[in-house]
């Protein structure tokens, strides 16, 4: 019996201690008419060897394409030691650290995680993680409305330069709290928030969301935006890429006061792409908002002997104590991912993260330079970018993506599906990180040129 260590003698002894004749009898409180007759549609068990072979084949069936897609999920080099350590049984197979004394490993790691996230974002405090970047933004919106009662508004200004999928997730999460999400258009020339239109806003609002870099890869004028929102009595939620923060100003220092809440997706910090999850949302805030923060928080304290140690704290915010009055219903979060992220930042250090970020910028610029000379490709936005940029194609973007897939390239994201009504037709969002070599980029540019030429009948040449 796989995974069942009982011998038949032990089973007999146990049943006799319990005083029943069979295991079946232990289910005698279940009304017989409800009892089901098995699990016929589930396949029969396979040995580890068979499953390994099956899954290895499945994992290889789609090849290992060169990836130029980003849009919220980024391929970075992941040092081998990270997952070797994170998947050590003691981290991998432990529960949420409810018994602090028996969980100092996890607890110290999370304390270090909180410190690192606070450092990266320039904020005072961080929680122990949320599900992912999108849901973290949802929680930030809820939190800003809770925390900013004096705004007397449940309106959130959500720029169109925030990822469309993120906006959809937020909408799902906040739907039943009477919150409205008002989309602010982007500047057609720059691919950033249209500040003029923004300033025309006259109704009060609870918070403004500012992405940096934004979904198009462009950099928002975060200082101006932050100060403007604060002047309106609103809070500011910074939505940031953690790798970019190695080079770009931390949200804690945007404008004169810094943002109130910083959130984002920490996947770029050591988490594999793996089809979109598990990733890890992070959230940091100003000290004064700490009691509004959702999720787990670890604090440093001392033990009976005065020796420093760590434990979960401020649990009175949480559902298991506060129940219907909790700041959120979140319970299980992304602990193991927080461990991996902490390891990533510890291994890379300040210098390493800066180098990764700089390498992204340099490689992205290199591909832009290659594509600039490609016939038919246009760059709709003039603003400088971090590691993503938009191009428009002289032909159907879906067809291009499919043709590139034939050459084992993930060409990028068709963002016209989200922005066609904004005039962005046949637009492709392309990402380049430190993992792409000069040869990769040349191959990308050559293949793209060839694909376009094939699809347009070479006419534009």
Binding site for ligand PLP (CB under 6 A): 331-332
What are the tokens at 330? 């979140």
Q: CA dist 212 to 121, 215, 239, 245, Å? A: 12, 8, 6, 9
Q: Does 84 bind its own copies (CB under 8 A)?
A: yes
Q: Is the dihedral angle over the CA atoms 53, 58, 63, 65 positive or is it negative? A: negative
Q: How far is the CB of 197 from its own copies (least distance, A)?
A: 42
DSSP string, 381-449: --S-BSSEEEEE-SS-HHHHHHHHHHTTEE--EETHHHHGGGT-TTEEEEE--TT--HHHHHHHHHHHH
> Which is nearer to another protein, 202 or 275 (by Cβ)?
275
Out of its own copies, another protein, ligand PLP, none, which partner does residue 382 contact, by CB within 5 to 8 A per kind?
A: none
Q: Which of residues 405-434 bind its own copies (CB under 8 A)?
A: 434
Count of residues near its own copies by CB under 8 A? 14
Q: Does 362 bind its own copies (CB under 8 A)?
A: no
Q: Count CA atoms closer than 13 A to 187's CA, side-chain side.
A: 18
Q: Does 80 bind its own copies (CB under 8 A)?
A: yes
Out of another protein, its own copies, ligand PLP, none, which partner does residue 189 contact, by CB within 5 to 8 A per kind?
A: none
> Which is nearer to its own copies, 99 or 437 (by Cβ)?
437
Q: Does 79 bind its own copies (CB under 8 A)?
A: yes
> Which is nearer to its own copies, 246 or 330 (by Cβ)?
246
Residue 262 DSSP code: E
As a whole number of angstroms, the distance between CA 17 and CA 19 comes to: 5
Out of another protein, ligand PLP, its own copies, none, which partner does residue 204 contact, by CB within 5 to 8 A per kind?
A: none
- Exposure letters 420-453 (e unless 16+ CB within 10 A, then b): eeeebebbbbbbbbbbbeeebbebbbebbbebbb
> Which is nearer to another protein, 205 or 281 (by Cβ)?
281
Q: Say if CB 339 and CB 109 are below 8 A apart.
A: yes
Q: How far is the CB of 69 from its own copies (least distance, A)?
A: 19
Residue 27 DSSP code: G
Out of another protein, its own copies, ligand PLP, none, which partner does residue 433 contact, by CB within 5 to 8 A per kind?
A: none
> Which is nearer to ligand PLP, 11 or 331 (by Cβ)?
331
Q: Which residues pair with 212 in a beta bridge?
A: 240
Q: How far is the CB of 95 from ligand PLP (least distance, A)?
A: 9
Q: Which of 4, 49, 302, 304 binds its own copies (CB under 8 A)?
A: 49
Out of ligand PLP, another protein, its own copies, none, which partner does residue 437 contact, by CB within 5 to 8 A per kind?
A: its own copies
Alpha helices in 149-244, H assignment, sequence order? 164-174, 195-199, 222-231
Out of another protein, ligand PLP, its own copies, none, which partner does residue 53 contact, by CB within 5 to 8 A per kind?
A: its own copies
Q: How far is the CB of 96 from ligand PLP (least distance, A)?
A: 8
Q: Say if CB 186 and CB 422 are below 8 A apart.
A: yes
Q: Does 1 bind its own copies (CB under 8 A)?
A: no
Q: Does 302 bind its own copies (CB under 8 A)?
A: no
Q: Say how many C-beta atoms besides its own lie within 10 A of residue 215's C-beta.
A: 28
Phi-psi region of 283 (alpha: psi -120 to 50; beta: other; left: phi over 0): beta
> Which is nearer to its own copies, 52 or 301 (by Cβ)?
52
Q: Give the interface with its own copies as residue ranges (CB under 8 A).
A: 47-49, 52-53, 77, 79-80, 84, 87-88, 434-435, 437
């Amino acid at each position: 019996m796989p995974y069942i260590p009982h011998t038949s003698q032990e089973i007999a002894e146990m049943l006799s201690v319990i005083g029943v004749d069979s295991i079946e009898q232990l289910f005698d409180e279940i009304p017989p008419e409800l009892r089901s007759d098995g699990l016929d549609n589930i396949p029969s068990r396979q040995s580890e060897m068979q499953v390994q072979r099956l899954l290895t084949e499945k994992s290889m069936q789609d090849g290992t394409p060169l990836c130029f897609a980003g849009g919220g999920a980024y391929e970075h080099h992941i040092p081998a030691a990270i997952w070797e350590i994170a998947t050590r049984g003691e981290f991998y197979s432990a529960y949420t650290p409810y018994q602090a004394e028996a969980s100092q490993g996890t607890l110290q790691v999370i304390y270090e995680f909180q410190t690192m996230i606070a450092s990266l974002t320039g904020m005072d405090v961080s929680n122990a993680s949320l599900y992912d970047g999108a849901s973290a933004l949802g929680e930030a919106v809820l939190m800003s409305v809770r925390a900013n009662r004096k705004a007397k508004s449940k309106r959130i200004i959500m720029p169109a330069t925030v990822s469309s999928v993120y906006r959809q997730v937020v909408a799902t999460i906040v739907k039943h709290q009477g919150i409205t999400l008002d989309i602010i258009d982007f500047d057609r020339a720059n691919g950033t928030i249209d500040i003029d239109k923004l300033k025309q806003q006259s109704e009060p609002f609870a918070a403004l969301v500012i992405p940096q870099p934004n979904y198009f890869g462009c950099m928002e004028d975060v200082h101006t935006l932050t100060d403007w929102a604060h002047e309106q009595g609103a809070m500011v939620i910074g939505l940031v890429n953690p790798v970019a923060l190695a080079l770009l100003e931390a949200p804690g220092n945007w404008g004169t006061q810094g943002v109130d809440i910083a959130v984002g997706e920490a996947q770029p910090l050591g988490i594999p792409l793996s089809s979109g999850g598990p990733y890890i949302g992070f959230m940091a805030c100003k000290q004064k908002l700490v009691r509004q923060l959702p999720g787990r928080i670890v604090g440093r304290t001392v033990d009976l002997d005065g020796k420093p140690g760590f434990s979960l704290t401020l649990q009175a915010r949480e559902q298991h104590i506060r129940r219907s009055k909790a700041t959120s219903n979140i319970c299980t979060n992304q602990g193991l991912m927080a461990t991996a992220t902490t390891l990533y930042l510890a291994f890379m250090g300040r210098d390493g993260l800066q180098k990764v970020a700089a390498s992204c910028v340099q490689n992205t610029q290199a591909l832009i330079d290659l594509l600039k000379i490609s016939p038919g490709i246009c760059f709709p936005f003039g603003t400088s970018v971090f590691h993503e940029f938009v191009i428009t194609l002289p032909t159907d973007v879906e067809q291009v993506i499919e043709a590139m897939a034939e050459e084992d390239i993930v060409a990028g994201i068709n963002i016209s599906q989200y922005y066609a009504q904004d005039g962005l037709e046949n637009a492709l969002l392309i990402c380049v990180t430190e993992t792409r070599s000069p040869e990769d980029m040349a191959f990308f540019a050559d293949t793209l040129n060839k694909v376009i030429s094939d699809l347009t009948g070479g006419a534009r040449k």
